[in-house]
Structure 1
Amino acid sequence: MSTTDGLMRGMEVIDTRAPLSPIENGTRSPIHEPASALVQLEIKLSIFET
């Protein structure tokens, strides 16, 4: 999910009657999905910067 900058109390919203979902690259994806199969996960070493 991205930030809520620009949202304020009393703003008009649209009820899509769908679960909460992020929008990335123009495609909607539900935030609650089954986990990917283990064979679909990419295995490569990488540095995780914090």
Structure 2
Amino acid sequence: LLIPELKGVCIHTTHRNQDRIYRIKSILSTAVSMKFERDGKEVSIAEYFRD
């Protein structure tokens, strides 16, 4: 898994009025385990981006 390698990585955002820098402290869930409802059906984040 990439989780240990991502810890401490800096993320630069430019989509707001001001640029921001965030540092990854931890990853709590995977894209496969996190789910939400879409069109009355439960889908994982991984399934959503795979389609």
TM range, smaller chain: under 0.3
Specify the structure having the higher radius of gyration (Cα).
Answer: 1
Q: Which has the higher helix share?
A: 2
Question: What's the TM-score once normalised by structure 1's chain length?
Answer: 0.25
Q: So what's the TM-score if we normalise by structure 2? A: 0.25
